[in-house]
């Protein structure tokens, strides 16, 4: 009999972001495969999850869960109570924290360990807490889920996590949302950005040091400073922090154009990615690289780095660069000046993106949940003998 899974979605932020896309995609695929699901979430998301997974037990947590400190405190006592209330067999925590005294088996997703590998790329106060939480999960969770082999290997190398307790489950991509756009979709985004058909290099993500946005700006300037009809640089998304972004922007020549539209509506992302001359995501560290996969699914020529799991996602279907400004500038030059290469990459990226699905991810998660239940029962049985 399949276990009843309680998925804790209370950490999903209002803007969804990468965590929201992971939780939404996974839940829909688990539901499609007939999983026995319960979901605990913030009150503002109760109706949303009820629509995503009809038939699942949806529990809205206290109103104060929108405050991070309150949510983390509630997770220790309130979440185990909800698990008992819905008769769960296993709890899945989709982001690094967990109740340390849960009586049930726990599965924790560790999205990345860049706080350990590149501490200078993170806010020191927040990173201290996250590192402590990841260490706790690596030590106490029944099983860990990593979104890539690279992240699994880093968990073993940096935290001495037991590789036998780590399951790799690649993220998927919703191909109905992220698809090759029509000309009308491309035009709509271009007009909304005020570009009206002018070419642009696209970036989507948080402004965090590990995302390497300052070096992207500097590399783009190196590539485009002397071009008569230089593509604009569009830095979409929001959140995070990087003190160097404004300093890098201050060096941009007046005849080059940088746009910062903030968060873009979901329906506009295919047009944004697919309409770009190049989608540049030269990250210094990732746990998976979901924006790379989503841009690939939209048939975009993607430029990224060989850091961490990114080659697992991009394979031979993306272009690679070193994360420094000269490398990014040279890689952008090569792509901007070679339309046939961009078209070749766009086609290859779209094909490769089909290898990643939330259905396959859900199957890997279901196997991890079952292993956690089996391990827990075996451990409980050995204690009672």
Instruction: Report d(CA 148, CA 114) in Å as an integer.
Output: 13
Where does the pLDDT of residue 24 fall: very low under 50, low under 70, confident under 90, or very high at 90 and above? very high
What's the average model confidence in pLDDT over 337-346? 98
Q: What is the mean pLDDT of residues 321-334?
A: 98
Q: What is the pLDDT of residue 263?
A: 87
d(C-alpha 313, C-alpha 346), whole Å: 14
The Cα 10–Cα 225 span in angstroms is 46
**Distance (Å, rounded) from C-alpha 164 to C-alpha 245?**
41
Q: Is the pLDDT assigned to residue 383 strictly greater than 70?
A: no
pLDDT in tens, 59-115: 999 988 888 889 999 999 999 999 999 999 999 999 999 998 888 999 999 999 988
| pLDDT at residue 214 tops 70 | yes
pLDDT of the residue at 306: 96
pLDDT tens digits along 28-49: 999 999 999 999 999 999 999 9
110-162 per-position pLDDT tens digit: 999 988 877 666 667 777 888 899 999 999 999 999 999 999 999 999 999 99
274-296 residue pLDDT tens: 999 999 999 998 999 999 999 99
Q: What is the pLDDT of residue 381?
A: 66
> What rounded mean pLDDT belongs to the chain?
93
Q: What percent of the chain has pLDDT over 70?
A: 96
88 phi and psi, to 5 degrees? -70, 155
Indicate if the pLDDT at residue 241 is higher than 80.
no
Q: Supply angle C-alpha 245, 278, 232, rounded to 5.
A: 55
pLDDT, residue 1, reads 77
Q: Which residue has the higher pLDDT, 376 or 222?
A: 222
Measured CA to CA, the distance from residue 75 to residue 97 in angstroms comes to 8
Strand partners, 144: 108, 166
């Amino acid at each position: 009999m399949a276990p009843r899974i309680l998925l804790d979605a209370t950490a999903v932020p209002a803007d969804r972001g990468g965590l929201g896309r992971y939780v939404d995609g996974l839940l829909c695929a688990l539901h499609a495969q007939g999983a026995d699901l319960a979901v605990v979430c913030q009150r503002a998301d109760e109706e949303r999850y009820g629509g995503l997974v009809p038939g699942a037990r949806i529990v809205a947590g206290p109103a104060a869960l929108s405050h991070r400190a309150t949510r983390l405190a509630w997770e220790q006592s309130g979440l185990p109570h909800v698990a008992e209330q819905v008769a769960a067999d296993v709890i899945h925590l989709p982001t690094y924290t967990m109740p340390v005294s849960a009586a049930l088996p726990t599965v924790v997703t560790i999205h990345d360990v860049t706080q350990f590998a590149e501490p200078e790329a993170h806010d020191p106060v927040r990173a201290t807490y996250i590192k402590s939480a990841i260490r706790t999960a690596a030590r106490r969770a029944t099983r860990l889920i990593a979104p890539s082999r690279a992240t699994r290997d880093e968990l073993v190398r940096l935290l001495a996590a037991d590789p036998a307790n780590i399951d790799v489950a690649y993220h998927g991509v919703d191909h109905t949302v992220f698809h090759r756009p029509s000309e009308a979709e491309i035009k709509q985004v271009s007009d909304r950005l005020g570009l009206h058909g002018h070419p642009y290099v696209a970036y989507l993500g948080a402004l965090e040091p590990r995302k390497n946005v300052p070096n992207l700006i500097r590399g783009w300037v190196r590539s485009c400073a002397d071009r008569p009809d230089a593509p604009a640089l569009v830095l979409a998304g929001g959140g995070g922090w990087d003190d160097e972004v404004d300093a890098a922007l201050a060096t941009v020549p007046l005849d080059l154009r940088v746009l910062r539209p903030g968060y873009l509506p979901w329906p506009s992302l295919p047009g944004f990615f697919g309409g770009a001359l190049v989608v540049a995501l030269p990250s210094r560290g990732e746990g998976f690289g979901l924006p790379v996969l989503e841009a690939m699914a939209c048939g975009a020529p993607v430029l990224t780095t060989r850091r961490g799991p990114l080659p697992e996602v991009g394979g031979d279907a993306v272009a690679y660069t070193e994360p420094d400004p000269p490398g990014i500038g040279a890689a952008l030059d090569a792509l901007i000046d070679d339309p046939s290469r961009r078209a070749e990459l766009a086609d290859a990226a779209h094909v490769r993106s089909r290898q990643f699905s939330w259905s396959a991810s859900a199957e890997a998660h279901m196997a991890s949940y079952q292993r956690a239940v089996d391990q827990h029962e075996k451990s409980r049985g050995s204690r009672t003998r």
